[in-house]
Amino acid sequence: MAADVKQSPAVFDPAAFDTFRFLDRALDANGRVTLRYALDGASSSDDDASSEGELAFVETFELPLGDPARELGEGERRRVDGLLALLHWVAGVSYFKTALPQSIACETGAPPPATAALLEALYSEGLGELAYSNDLHGLPRPTFAGAASPARPATAAGTIAQPAAAPRRVLVPVGGGKDSIVALEIVRRSGCELALFSLGDAAPIARTVAAAGLPRLLARRTLDPRLPALNEAGAINGHVPVTAIVACAALLTAALNGFDAVAMANERSASAGNVHWDGVEVNHQFSKGLRAERLLSAALAELAPGLRCFSVLRPASELAVARAFARMERYHGAFTSCNALFRSDPALRASSWCCDCPKCRFVFLALAPFSEPAHLREVFGRDLLDDEGQFEGFALLTATGGHKPFECVGEEQESLAAMRLLADDERWSAHRVVRRLAAEVLPRFPLRGRSDAGQGSPERVLALDDEHDVPHALLGEVRALLGA
């Protein structure tokens, strides 16, 4: 380990670091989590001295404990040590990605096999977009000692074997968008006791919580303040698997507050990638996909066997979720799915829908077949499908002229299905963008029959899928809300 510590290098050279270290972690009596990491400099080829010092990072979370006067005893903290370790390992990806060193050192002990398998996926495929966007020579492939096949049993279909008991108390993370709203309503209608969870309190989240009228556990995350300066100085920067970090924070919060399940809002479309590169499918939403969900379930079986995490939207496409959400009008003035509101730099954040990004276009497109034009104009502030300048952006949602945008948008087939519905809908067919999509995009994807899912059949896209790990106790409400 290098002796000197360089906190703020004026020039950051990723190649100067060869090891990423997980130093230590702590959970105090008030729910404050402290996670420590470091990058170690590579040894010089001329002597044994280090060419760079140790660059240390500290990240914190403030986790809610329900009662503000409550303090965690030592036994309670020991009980959740596995989940604290999981959060430490998963959140470290935000600092590892600055240099992508070859070596990993877990100074508090190596993760068990299934957990190591999850981490190796998040630190490689979970950084696929970052590697692609930075034109790197391939995915990072760090090794976490102990990686092996997941320990939890699987069926022949590849699903994770589920606990027999139905979930009793469910925590639902909300981000202010339509998906988490549909998820919380499924859980509410199932009769399970539930509360909401959020990491931060952005305006759409606060409005959603108010509209839902449910209790909420609010956590806060503080990244190491040196990250922006390092990015400016030359650190590798880009998308990280943030949904996995949110899930792990929610799981630890759930365990501290007596919940036995966390219900995520990740639909089946999240498993579909954006582009094939370096022999892999690069997926902006990797940590939302089914494979990541099952790797996390296997890790929980090792670290916290009484707790589970699943997505209640997994059987459905984004288009089916949008159809369900279109009926939930009390939330329409509260939600915002535009990610411009959540940019890390406050100066770059939008105040509402930016109306000029792939996410705004996709959400508008997905809601339109199930909405009146005047209503969507009221929600978004503009009619994106009647703005000629939006045509290329909408066409790109079908990968026409490129690949699917690196954003949380649905599969190309869903966009095609929505366009087919709009072209046949007298409320929308005369809109300028819809007319061009019908004339210039849809003919490239001829529909050979109602079952032709590969060309965007609305019937097939809206149908529910059987590849999921939704608990049986919730399936009835999933089918009732998403199936029609």
Q: What type of residue sits at position 417?
A: A
332 lies in the same domain as 425: yes
Q: 42-46, 252-256, 338-342 — which one is most confidently predicted on average? A: 252-256
**Structural domain contains residue 390:** yes
Of 301 and 50, the one with more pLDDT: 301
What rounded mean pLDDT belongs to the chain?
88
**Structural domain contains residue 186:** yes
Q: 332-341, 347-356, 468-477 — which one is most confidently predicted on average? A: 468-477
List pLDDT tens digits, range 280-329.
Answer: 888 888 999 999 999 999 999 999 999 999 999 999 999 999 999 999 99
245 lies in the same domain as 356: no
**Range 320-346 average pLDDT:** 83
pLDDT the model gives residue 284: 86
Q: What whole-number distance in Å separates Cα of residue 109 and Cα of residue 107?
A: 5
267 lies in the same domain as 245: yes
Of 93 and 283, the one with more pLDDT: 93
The last residue of one of the domains, among 279, 311, 343, is: 311
pLDDT the model gives residue 68: 83
pLDDT the model gives residue 384: 97
Name the pLDDT band for 338 (thresholds 50, 70, 90).
confident
116 lies in the same domain as 245: yes
The last residue of one of the domains, among 287, 311, 335, is: 311
List pLDDT tens digits, range 196-227.
Answer: 999 999 999 999 999 999 999 999 999 999 99
Name the pLDDT band for 351 (thresholds 50, 70, 90).
low
325 lies in the same domain as 273: no
**Structural domain contains residue 436:** yes
**Structural domain contains residue 2:** no
Name the pLDDT band for 45 (thresholds 50, 70, 90).
very low
For the beta carbon of residue 221, count every other beta carbon within 10 angstroms.
18
Q: Which domain holds residue 75?
A: 14-147+167-311
**Structural domain contains residue 3:** no
Structurally, the chain folds into a number of domains equal to: 2
pLDDT over threshold 50, residue 103: yes
Residue that is written with structure tokens 């916290």 in the block? 304
* Cβ(455)–Cβ(464) below 8 Å: no
* Cβ(360)–Cβ(397) below 8 Å: no
List pLDDT tens digits, range 365-413.
Answer: 999 999 999 999 999 999 999 999 999 999 999 877 667 777 778 788 9
**Structural domain contains residue 445:** yes
Q: What is the percentage of the chain residues whose pLDDT exceeds 90? A: 75
**Structural domain contains residue 470:** no
* Cβ(142)–Cβ(104) below 8 Å: yes
275 lies in the same domain as 419: no
240 lies in the same domain as 191: yes
pLDDT over threshold 60, residue 52: no
List pLDDT tens digits, range 468-480.
Answer: 999 999 999 999 9
100 lies in the same domain as 226: yes
List pLDDT tens digits, range 170-202.
Answer: 999 999 999 999 999 999 999 999 999 999 999
pLDDT the model gives residue 449: 64
pLDDT the model gives residue 405: 73
Of 4 and 234, the one with more pLDDT: 234
pLDDT the model gives residue 446: 85
pLDDT the model gives residue 343: 47
Of 249 and 161, the one with more pLDDT: 249
286 lies in the same domain as 404: no
Q: 80-84, 131-135, 159-163 — which one is most confidently predicted on average? A: 80-84
132 lies in the same domain as 214: yes
The last residue of one of the domains, among 311, 331, 362, is: 311
334 lies in the same domain as 197: no
pTM: 0.90
236 lies in the same domain as 363: no
